[in-house]
Structure formats: C-alpha cells, structure tokens
A and B are shown apart, each in its own frame.
Chain A
Amino acid sequence: MITDLIESRDLLEVKELAVDFGAAPAVRGVDLRLKRGETLGIVGESGSGKSVTALAVLGLLPGSASVRGSVRLEGRELVGLPNRELAKIRGNKIAMVFQDPLSAFTPVYRIGDQIVEALRIHQSLDRAAARKRAAELLDLVGIPEPERALDNFPHEFSGGMRQRAMIAMAIANDPDILLADEPTTALDVTIQAQVLDVLRKAQRETGAALVLVSHDLGVIAGMADRVAVMYAGRVVETAGVDELFARPRHPYTLGLIGAVPRLDTGGGPLVPIPGNPAALGDLPPGCPFAARCPLVQDRCRTAEPPLAGTDGHLAACVRADELAERRPAPSEVYPVPTVPPPAVSVPREEREQVLRVTGLTKTFPVLKGTVFKRRVGDVYAVDGVELDIRHGETLGLVGESGSGKSTTLFELLRLGRPESGRIELLGQDTAGLDRAGAHKLRADIQIVFQDPMASLDPRLPIGDVIAEPLLAQHAPRELIARRVPELLRQVGLEPAHAERYPHQFSGGQRQRISIARALAVQPRLLVLDEPVSALDVSVQAGVLNLLQQLKAELGLAYLFVSHDLSVIRHLSDRVSVMYLGRTVESGSVEAVFEQPRHPYTRALLSAVPLPDPPAERARTRVLLAGDPPSPTERQTGCRFRTRCQVYAALDADRRGRCEQQAPPLAQAAPGRDHAAACHYPEA
C-alpha cells in the first residue's frame, strides 16, 4: 500500500463493489486500483463475476442489477451518477472493447460512420475531419486500405478485422482507460496474436490504462502488469504478474496454474480442481472455495477470509502465508490421478492401422437463385487431407476455423464413398461398404461433440442417452442394463445418476456423459471434436485426465480435433496440422512442436500464449499477416503463400515454385515420422 502512495495517484479506484441481480449476488465486494498506463488483468472462470465487474465500472449493467460500493475515476464517484453524466465518460474517459465485435457494431451502419459518430459525440470535429481521423485510426490498428474500409459494413469484415475496428473506435477519443472484456475469446490463435498486438500498440499510442478481462491465463501472462484472480464474485488474489505466477498464495490460483496444459511441456496428468465453480445463488458460509480446496481447514468454513498480504501481493486465504513460504507445486497440493501405463506397448509400425485417410476432398456447391438453383462456384472445404492413426494412439488434428476440420470429421463419420481420396477404417475401404457393413462399422467409430449441452437430448434421461448406441447396435436388454451403470462409473459418475436429465449436470459432467455414450459400444476409434473448448480450465483438466486414463485402460485410438495447441500437445502422440482444407504438416508431437517445418505451424505455435510471464516475454513471435483467403477460390501453388513469411523473404525465382506447384506432403527424412507440405521447409 505504501508503494502505491509514493507512485502516482490511482486513476481508477474500485472499492467494495457489489452487484446483485435480484436476490442472487454476482459481485460481492471487489477492490481494484488502476494506475495510469498500467495493464490490469482480471482472470476467472465463467460466473466468477469478472465481466459484471467490468460492466459495472462503466455503468452498463441492466436495470435489474443493483450496484453498491464505490467506483472512483480520478477521485470522481461513478456509482449512482445519472446516465447523462456517465455517457460523457463512456467512450471518452473509459472505452470498452467487447467480446463479440459483430454484435457490438450496429449491422446497418458503415464502420466509418460508427467511428465518426464516436468521435463527434465527444469532440467538436466537422464530418471531413472526423472521417480523416477515423481513417488514421483504422490505419493505426492495421486495417489495410483504411479509406475504403470506412465504407464497409461490419459483416464485410472478418472477426479479426472487426475486433481491430472495435479497438480503433475505443481509442478514438484517447481514453484514459480501455476495458477489454474477453477481446480475443472468439478468435483463432493467429488472429488473437494480431489483436493482442494491436491492443498493445493502441495502449502505447494513447497511454491508456488497460483492464483486460480473460479466462485465458496465457493471454493474461503476456499482457498484464498486475493480475486480479476472481472467484465467486470476489478477488481472491492480486499481485504483479510475475509474482502471481511464480508464487501464488491462494490455492485457487495455484490450482488454475496447474490445470492449464502448456505448450512447452508435454505429457503427464494435469492438476484438476475438484468440484465445480461455486454457484453464487446459495453460497455456504465461510470461504466459497472451501468445498473444492485441498488445504481446507475447519476455520475456513466459518468466516470468509479478507484479502490481505504484503508488498501488493494480497490473497484471501487463511493459509496464504504458509503457501508463500512453502511455495508448493500445484501437484503437491492437489491430488493428481495417476495415469496407468498404456495398454499398447508394441512399436508403432507393428500396431494395427485404425484409420487411414489419403487425398480426401469435399466441395460444397455455392448456389444462387430461389426457384432454379444454379451453381455459381464451389467451396473447397477439404482439399487433400491425409490422416494416419494406429491402435492405441492419439492423433491431434489442429487447424483454425474454416480449415476444414469439422468437414473432415463428418466425411469420416458418414462412412460413405468420399468425393475423392480414400478412407480406410480398420482396414475396410468405406467406399466399398454396403448398408449392413456400414452399420456394423459404426460401432467402431464414435464421436464426442464440442458442446455437451447440445449433443445430449434434453428430454432423455442420461441412462437412455448412454444406452442409445447400444440400442442402435441391437444389443440385448440385459447387456444394456449391465453396461449403463458400468459406463457411468468408468467416467466418474454414479450409476444412480442414470435417472437424471442432462440439464441437472454441469458442463464437465455432461461431457463425461457424452464420453460414456461414445464408449458404450466399445469403439476402436473415438473422434473428439473440440471436447473441452466449452469448459472452464479447472474442469477441462479433469476431462483431459479422464481421456488419458481411458485411453490407457481401454487401448483406444483418438482423433482429437482442437484449435488449442496446448491441449493437443498435452494429449496427443501425433499431430496433423490443417490449413485451408489441406494437411500441411504431420508427425510425432515432439517433432512437430519442437522442430516445426512448415511456416504455418511455426506461426501457429508462436501465437499460442504461455501461462508463464517471463517465458512469454522472452519469446519472439511470428505474426501472420491478414486473414486466411476465401476457400471458394482454388489457388494454384501453395495455399499459404499469401500469408507466408518464408515466401515473402524469397527472391522472384524461388517464389515461382510456390506460385505454380502445390507442395506435396513430403517426409523430412526417410524413416522419420515428420512430414511437411512446403517447398522450402525449415530443416
């Protein structure tokens, strides 16, 4: 506290901020302070109150919310200020960058008009000057051809471009504070890296303080100067970013750090935090984290510990001092499940082939006209995918949105004749299957979907949900009655839960039910389509551990699709990288992650933020320019060259090869499991 006084006065001071929605609290006494030019990261899981806190500062909460406490901007109280006064501050002193830029722009107005509007509300500028300034702002955030972009409508921009334009609008009036609420959550990693870069630049140009709300510890580690960790509507720990990540004093922070899979380390079980995030509706007395805390003591259950500590490192835990002194690793505090040794120990070459895909393509026609549809073009969704999975291994399929991952999966699961190319499942060519053969083969390939709520029928008790694939395979009744409780136990639920409906379970539990359903018919290959991307970090760790465990016990093969490279690194044995419908690199996880050969893979890897501030700062980034081109046009040559940093550095002669020939997926060295589709790969 003393150091704070010596330094400049706080720009923003939040004290005892509390927000209630009706009877249910959302924020329960938050204290924050923000100095000029600094970046404060607010991190927490869903429902922790981080977004509500940000919105409360701006007075943007709906009328049903009651706000108590104090928010002072340069000493001026904002809580209870009439709307007209607040409007003068919003966009001028404090500006907001929202999570979903598509809904944050009015769809019927041009981007330029909206920025001009933001400028003219707070400054006395004529139209021409405001427009000129708007173009400068768009240029600043790296939008190409800013003059033309001003006349575009929001839907004509890609997600990354919209978020840049949003940032441009936010910094239009040189605000003192930028509030960014999950600004990159909806974006791909390479685009996320671009947008974070723009945010840094915007902050540098305007000298504004930045409040970055995120669930992603990696993003926070790379951006923030100070971090506040929120749990159940309160700040449970706050410290400088290095201090917090190196010496967490609250068991929740410690657990969060242990629960995140990391790009720079492989294998090993993660540290799951048991239980689910506390429901704010009915909090027990005492520390809200007590129910999940491995260090819980009797006194935790009686009174909620205050946020206390020294040197600006505060934690709301009775055992904070102990943790500060002992500095245990997350795995020393939390019980970590042991993953049994893999069931398969034969070398890869001798193992049975589970799935082999070569040269798979899938195009969708682009149709026009209402009565008579005519084909005006094609979307080359999948255009040359190669996959190879053997018994007992996990293949991670990585790619950004629009890279054709999902289309590839649906083509696999259709078990029909592919448009071109070949799909072999357990040695059987799917093109040659008849109906009965395909139906039989369905038992061997099962899928777990991304959204555990959408993939479970809300009107079916989960016992019936899990029995469904068995029924489809005409399993006898006794077998079903025996398998359902067994499966529930296997995924860590109780047999008695069979009578409950999906909505009675939390996200993580629902995903476990999905996994149980997929396992019911004892498949050989489990297709996991982004199975943890909808889950909170602490819950995600539990599901990932379960998957590892099941694989080891049952000798399953996984096709694990994800956009999250850290998760892939953690779980996979081999990895396959897709770009615009093509496989651009594949190989063992160690080979691909440690010595990426394709420039796209390198860019992808460098875009993933590490939850480790010193390492994150020390990294050199390869920032990709622009967005992926549209898949409706088929380019000659390499598809990645429009964004490729290697291509950009080549001389004209050597560029010719990239422009004319599509690079084949070539082995790095004979006998080595590492291939890349690049003419000039990194050695």
Chain B
Amino acid sequence: MTTLITEATLPAAEAPAPGGRLRLVLSRLTAAKGVLVGGTIVLLLFLLAFGGPFITHWDYATPDYSALRQPPSGTHWFGTNGLGQDVFAQTVRGLQKSLIIGLLVALFSTVVASLVGACAGYFGGWIDRGLTFLVDLLLVFPSFLIITIISPKLKGAGWIAFVVLLAAFNWMITARVIRSMTRSLREREFVRAAQFMGVHPLRIIVRHILPNVASFLITDATVAVGGAVMSETALSYFGFGVRAPDVSLGTLLAAGTDQAPVFPWLFYFAAGLLVLFVLAINLIGDGLRDALDPTTEAARPARTSRSSK
C-alpha cells in the first residue's frame, strides 16, 4: 500500500471484534435500562403466574362458602368474590392464560403480517395481487362470526388453537402498512445494490427490508399484546375461548368492572397486573426499537457513543 491519506482523523478504535449486527444489537439491548426493567417485570409476572398457585392453598374454582365478597385479608390475600372463590388464586390463574395469549398472539400476528406484507411489497406483480386480495378478504370478513363458528370445533385443541385463531384475524392492517413501506424501500439504492450482488430475495427481506420497518413493527406488536388480552376478553364474554370455571385476566376484568366502585379488590388487582404487563412490554419494545435503530444515541453503549463527523 502506498501512502494513502485517510480522509478523517478518526480516533483509533479498539481491536476489531467479529460478530456483526446481531452482537451489536444484543449489546445495545442489554445496555438499555428500560429493557432490563421491562424484562425483569415480565419475568416476575411469569413467576407469579406459575409459582402463585403453589403458595396459596386455595384453588381458583373451589368456593369458600364462609367468605363471600370478603376484602383482602390474611386468609384470602386478594379477597374473595361473590361465589367465595379466592381472588388471588383466580388472578394468578388468569395471568397464566393472559401472559401466554398476549405474547403469542402479538408474536404470531406480527410475524405473519411482516412476512406477508414484505413479500407482497417486495415481489409485486401477481404475488402482490394475490396477497393483497387475501388481506382485503380477511378484512371484510366478520372475524367474530368466523371465530364463533369455528371455536366449538376446536374445543379439544385447547388454548393454542385459540391463540392461532386470534392471531389469524389480527394481522391484516399491519400487513398492509408493511406492504406500502416495503414498496418504497424496494426502490432504495441499498436494496438495489443487494439485488445486483445476487443476494437471495428472501434474504434481502430479512436483512434489509424488515430491519428498516422494525420501528413500526415493534410499536405495533407492543400495542397488539394489550389488544390480544382485551379481544380474548370479548370472546370469553360471549362464551368462547376461556370458559368458566376457567378464568383469564380478561374474564376477571369483565366480571369485576361493574363491581369496582363497591368491591374494588375484584377489579384492581387484575387491572393492575394487566397494566404492569403492558407497561413492561412497552419498555422492552422501546429498548428493542432503539437497539435496532443506530441513529438513537440513548441505547448506544458508552464505548461507541462517539459519532465520527
């Protein structure tokens, strides 16, 4: 090499370390306080949901006829409801359902939405027309009606079928947004460059398109978590999904809403846990978004925080 003048006097950085984007994003993710806090809260919620039943001798379904609508006390930590069932036992049981349903529905619908939307936008032509038609079709179908018709047939399949069903009717609008975002990204030069390098189309979608729409996807997914818990409630209210005597946070809230002014313990414990859950998911989502977006300074680890101008 001859005398080459580098354009800038960049500070000599430390020794090169291989690893690429994944490692960088992970290191930024772990450096973000919000993610740590959010992650801890979610972890604690899971511990409560699955460990809770073992620390109380009350069962969520068995009534205690000696204590009807009792406020929280030493025997019934969260009080009891009108049937004498222990609210703590019910809440942790409901939390189990809602945590899983909320997370999985959001995950499934986001994955489906991003894949369908990105493929439709990226490939265009017949693939686009076919997928857009499917999306439009699902959007005009009354999803509630279909779930009503299908769910009796899925009785035996349990909650996982319910999750799939909820997710299946929850992704279309996101997919449409992703499609239009992809269409503009497709014209960008870095996507062109990848095409000319011979990168496989699916790889371009995963490596270039999706990370560039990640901010929207993450925001959408965090909203979807709360939405899934609530739509599960609506279905449960009509007798689909989670059925009595089984409970979810949604059914507990639905049952406790009108009694909240008089018997607050029936409502506020379930509501508080739901709010805490959604809040924690939001914290994680924000952290993830910042970690994926290199232009945000907040989540950058201190050692690379200096930008070279």
| A interface residues, Cβ below 8 angstroms from B | 272, 274-276, 279, 291, 335, 337-340, 413, 438-439, 442-443, 446-447, 449-451, 454-461, 463-464, 467-469, 471-473, 481, 484-485, 489-490, 492-501, 503-506, 508-509, 512, 517, 521, 539, 542, 546, 549
Contacts and interface: CB of A to CB of B under 8 A. Distances in A.
A503 to B, nearest CB: 6
Closest 9 CB pairs of A and B: A496-B13, A501-B294, A442-B198, A455-B189, A454-B189, A459-B211, A469-B197, A495-B16, A457-B190
B18 A481 contact: yes
B31 interface: no
Contacts of B7: 272, 274-276, 492, 506, 508-509, 512, 539, 542
B12 A496 contact: yes
A279 B308 CA distance: 11
A499 B309 contact: no
A447 B207 contact: no
Contacts of B292: 459
B73 interface: no
Contact of A457 (B1, B196, B212): B212
26 contacts: A272-B5, A274-B9, A291-B9, A438-B198, A442-B197, A442-B198, A447-B193, A455-B189, A455-B192, A460-B208, A463-B20, A468-B197, A468-B207, A469-B197, A473-B198, A485-B16, A490-B1, A494-B10, A496-B13, A496-B14, A496-B15, A496-B16, A497-B10, A504-B308, A517-B193, A546-B4
A493 B197 CA distance: 22
Contacts of B13: 494, 496-497, 499
B48 to A, nearest CB: 36
B309 A338 contact: no
B17 interface: yes
B193 A449 contact: yes
Nearest to B187: A454
Nearest to B24: A461
A461 B5 contact: no
B189 A451 contact: yes
Nearest to A520: B197
A459 B189 contact: no
Contacts of A339: 2
Given A464-B20, A521-B197, 18 more contacts: A272-B7, A274-B7, A335-B5, A447-B193, A447-B196, A451-B189, A454-B190, A455-B192, A457-B190, A458-B295, A459-B212, A463-B18, A468-B207, A493-B6, A499-B13, A499-B16, A505-B308, A539-B7
B15 A506 contact: no
A630 to B, nearest CB: 24
B107 interface: no
Given A275-B9, A455-B193, A500 B4 contact: no
B214 interface: yes
A551 B198 CA distance: 23
B307 interface: yes
Contact of B304 (A438, A443, A499): A499
B21 interface: yes
Contacts of B161: none
Interface in B168-210: 188-190, 192-194, 196-200, 203, 207-208
A335 to B, nearest CB: 6
Given A460-B211, A481-B18, A455 B190 contact: yes
Contacts of B18: 463, 481, 484
B8 interface: yes
B2 A458 contact: no
Contact of B207 (A340, A460, A469, A493): A460
A337 B2 contact: yes
Nearest to B308: A504
B3 interface: yes
A193 to B, nearest CB: 30
A409 to B, nearest CB: 10
B59 interface: no
B192 to A, nearest CB: 8
Contacts of B24: 461, 499
Contact of B199 (A276, A471, A499, A503): A471
Nearest to B295: A503
B293 interface: yes
Given A291-B9, A449-B189, A471-B199, A459 B4 contact: no
Contacts of A496: 12-16
Contacts of A542: 5, 7
B199 to A, nearest CB: 4
Nearest to A482: B18
Contacts of B12: 494, 496
B7 to A, nearest CB: 5
Nearest to B20: A464
A459 B2 contact: no
Given A455-B189, A468-B194, A471-B199, A338 B2 contact: yes
Contacts of B8: 275-276, 506, 509
B193 A461 contact: no
Nearest to B185: A457
B199 A472 contact: yes
Contact of A461 (B21, B190, B192, B208): B21
Contacts of A492: 4-7
B258 to A, nearest CB: 48
Interface in B14-48: 14-18, 20-21, 24
A458 B197 contact: no
A463 B16 CA distance: 10
A456 B189 CA distance: 8
Contact of A506 (B3, B197, B309): B309
A340 B20 contact: no
A421 to B, nearest CB: 20
Contact of A498 (B16, B212, B309): B16
A378 to B, nearest CB: 21
Contacts of A275: 7-9
A472 B3 contact: no
Given A461-B21, A490-B1, A413 B199 contact: no
Contacts of A463: 18, 20
A520 to B, nearest CB: 9
A472 B13 CA distance: 29
Given A458-B294, A461-B24, A463-B20, A472 B198 contact: yes
A464 B21 contact: yes
Contacts of A276: 7-8, 309
B294 A503 contact: yes
Contacts of A461: 20-21, 24, 294
Contacts of A549: 2, 4
A153 to B, nearest CB: 27
A595 B39 CA distance: 73
Find the residue from B1, B21, B193, B304 having the highest chain A CB count within 10 A: B193
A503 B304 CA distance: 13
Given A446-B197, A459-B212, A468-B194, A504 B16 contact: no
